[in-house]
Amino acid sequence: MEKTVTIIGAAALPVGKWQSAPTAAVQVLEHEVLARLVLQATADAGIDKSEVQGMTFAQPRPYTAQKYFATFMAHYLRLPCAGNISEVLGNGMTGGFAFEHAANDILLGRSKVSLALGVNFETAITAREHMMSSMRAVGDVDFQAPFGITPIAWYAMDATRYIHDHGSSREELATVAVKNRGHAALNPLAQFRKPITLDDVLSQPMIVEPLGLYEVPPRSDGAVCLVLAEEEVARSSGRPYVRVRSRGFYHEGAHQISEVPNDMTALEAAQVAGRQAYDRAGISPADVDLAEIYAPCTIVEVLAAEALGLTPRGMGARYAAEGRTSLGGDIPICTSGGLTSRGHPAYITPLYSFVEVFEQLRGTAGERQVHAAELALTSAELGNYNAALVHILEGVH
């Protein structure tokens, strides 16, 4: 367990609408898209595909044509592995768990090089089918699902409570969407890159009050491959790489919304997981140079930033309004554009966060590069942050 895990290569599909309609004459196939990314990521890492000893996939959406996807991909890539071939599933944390499992293969000595990868296609599915599946997945089938409680409804309740408790406003929360779109405009992987104003955000149709169209995530397709390696492999490459400094995880024992009264805007799981990660890395939140937060809505970014100690409690929205969480600010958050603008291919969204941090800490983020970035934080969550997974990563040049 003394081994150290690093990220040495990455490749990602620009987030957008890639899934073919069932009636389309030409089909975009998930396995073909992901196979190309494996070749690009290993080339980026400076290794041959044959050096890969394990692959952990984020389980694809149920709409994916090919089942038993992991073992099929091993065959399609002609890639025998002695370490691990598997798929993992964990709601919005699925991509984070894929990263964890690939890292654990290295920590346990089962492989020197492992891939964390996945594909998420969902945009050609009917809204009815997608929503029915989502409600059965994220809610209590005896109570919440029959009454149509959706994730956006939870977040809207959080936003209303936050505004009441902290003297905030919808306008202040909406600045998070403007900030993220500004970051996305600089990111070639982002789904929405056209800059927007605060007036643009406030004029959109309401989805669940007080959250409008630009304050909630789109449906998105995407694919990512990350190359993880033991640090001796990373050092031998002679290239900049990213070291996984620590991780934290906590599940509060609640599924999405608990019937046990609690502080609905505190995000206890994020607080606990964040403290674990900071303590294990030997740092404080003030040492973090940037953060990629899993935040489906504007309010979630605000609450998670506060729970992780990146902004003071009750001040997250104000920090965004003042530009303090923008590029060039005190603590740049979601430099990729976040889930509202970079896009939200749900099962692999955490993998896109690792791609962004990898580019930032390697110094290859282009116009959105955070100056002298050395330490970064990523987070992933299980619905309304009833569970949180936090990683601290550092660049090595």
**What CATH number did the domain enclosing 104 receive?**
3.40.47.10
Query: Does the pLDDT value for residue 137 go beyond 90?
Result: no
Say if 178 falls within a structural domain.
no
Please tell me the predicted confidence (pLDDT) of residue 139: 72
**273, burial (CB in 10 Å: exposed 0-12, middle 13-18, buried 19+):** buried
Say if 38 falls within a structural domain.
yes
Query: Does the pLDDT value for residue 273 go beyond 70?
Result: yes
Please tell me the predicted confidence (pLDDT) of residue 80: 94
Per cent of the chain over pLDDT 70 is 99
Please tell me the predicted confidence (pLDDT) of residue 1: 45
pTM: 0.96
Confidence of residue 381 (pLDDT cuts 50, 70, 90): very high
| ∠ CA 122-123-125, rounded to 5° | 75
Please tell me the predicted confidence (pLDDT) of residue 388: 97
Reduced to 3 states (helix: H, G, I; strand: E, B; else coil), residue 221 is strand
Q: Which of 99-113, 128-142, 210-224, 373-387 has the lowest mean pLDDT?
A: 128-142
Say if 318 falls within a structural domain.
no
Query: Does the pLDDT value for residue 258 go beyond 90?
Result: no
Please tell me the predicted confidence (pLDDT) of residue 130: 78
Say if 69 falls within a structural domain.
yes
Strand partners, 387: 251, 382
| b (16+ CB within 10 A) / e for 57-66 | bbbbbebbee
- Average pLDDT score over residue span 267-277: 97
> To the nearest whole number, what is the mean pLDDT of the chain?
94
Confidence of residue 256 (pLDDT cuts 50, 70, 90): confident
- Report in angstroms the alpha-carbon separations of 280 from 98, 245, 275, 328, 365: 21, 8, 8, 28, 27
Say if 210 falls within a structural domain.
no
- Average pLDDT score over residue span 347-373: 97
Confidence of residue 163 (pLDDT cuts 50, 70, 90): very high
Q: Which of 118-132, 170-184, 307-321, 338-352 has the lowest mean pLDDT?
A: 118-132
Per cent of the chain over pLDDT 90 is 84
Which residues neighbour 151 within 8 Å (Cβ) at sequence distance 6 or greater?
A: 134, 138, 256, 296, 383, 384
- Average pLDDT score over residue span 337-365: 97
Which residue is associated with the tokens 């620590």?
A: 246
Q: Are the beta carbons of 349 and 224 closer than 8 angstroms?
A: no
Which residue is associated with the tokens 């029915």?
A: 132
- Average pLDDT score over residue span 278-305: 98
Please tell me the predicted confidence (pLDDT) of residue 179: 98
Reduced to 3 states (helix: H, G, I; strand: E, B; else coil), residue 130 is helix
- Average pLDDT score over residue span 263-273: 95
Say if 351 falls within a structural domain.
no
Say if 103 falls within a structural domain.
yes
- Average pLDDT score over residue span 336-352: 97
Q: Are the beta carbons of 95 and 380 closer than 8 angstroms?
A: yes
> How do residues 38-70 score in pLDDT, each as one tens digit?
999 999 999 999 999 999 999 998 888 888 999
**Which range marks the domain in which residue 233 is found?**
5-125+219-237
The torsion of the CA quartet 305, 311, 312, 318, rounded to 10 degrees, works out to: -100
Please tell me the predicted confidence (pLDDT) of residue 91: 86
| b (16+ CB within 10 A) / e for 341-355 | bbbbbbbbbbbbbbb
Query: Does the pLDDT value for residue 367 go beyond 70?
Result: yes
Reduced to 3 states (helix: H, G, I; strand: E, B; else coil), residue 288 is coil
Say if 352 falls within a structural domain.
no
- Report in angstroms the alpha-carbon separations of 388 from 147, 223, 260, 368: 27, 22, 19, 26
For residue 176, give both structure tokens.
């998070």
Please tell me the predicted confidence (pLDDT) of residue 261: 82
Overall domain count for the chain: 1
Query: Does the pLDDT value for residue 383 go beyond 50?
Result: yes
